[in-house]
Amino acid sequence: MATITITVDYNPNGDNQHKLHVWDSEQHDGATGGNNQDDITTEVTSGDTINWVIKPGSRVSKITSIAPKSGSVDFLNTVTCNSDGSATGTIKSGFHGGDMENYNIGFQLDGAPQQYIDDPKMKMKGSTT
């Protein structure tokens, strides 16, 4: 069981959309994707703790939700959105190596009441059945 940190920041070059720049403590960095800086796949195993944090000084003011995309596998136990704007969740058991979850990060920007959504991925490293 590991603790993985996924850092989020606002991507001002996000193809005229409200998008994130996302990177994780496993050295996956969306910045290698050009303007689409949200395209990372974080590798996880059963029992891992995932912490989504906001880069200090970011225009992102808080993470409002973490949820699987419609029709996707759901690796996450209950996710808690914390008072400091971050979010925390743990990975369930019962999945096979290579299983993939497409999920949404809901977030707000400084001074904007609406929620925006971006969608990185998680991939199971090995069997957890």
β-strand pairing of 60-68 with 49-54? unpaired
Q: Is the pLDDT of residue 78 over 90?
A: no
Element (H, E) at 54: strand 49-54
- Domains within the chain, CATH numbers bracketed: 3-124 (2.60.40.420)
CB atoms within 10 A of CB 67: 14
pLDDT digits (tens, 9 = 90+) for 31-71: 775 666 777 889 999 999 999 999 999 999 999 999 998 88
At 128, the amino acid letter reads T
pLDDT for 63 equals: 97
Q: Which residues pair with 50 in a beta bridge?
A: 4, 89
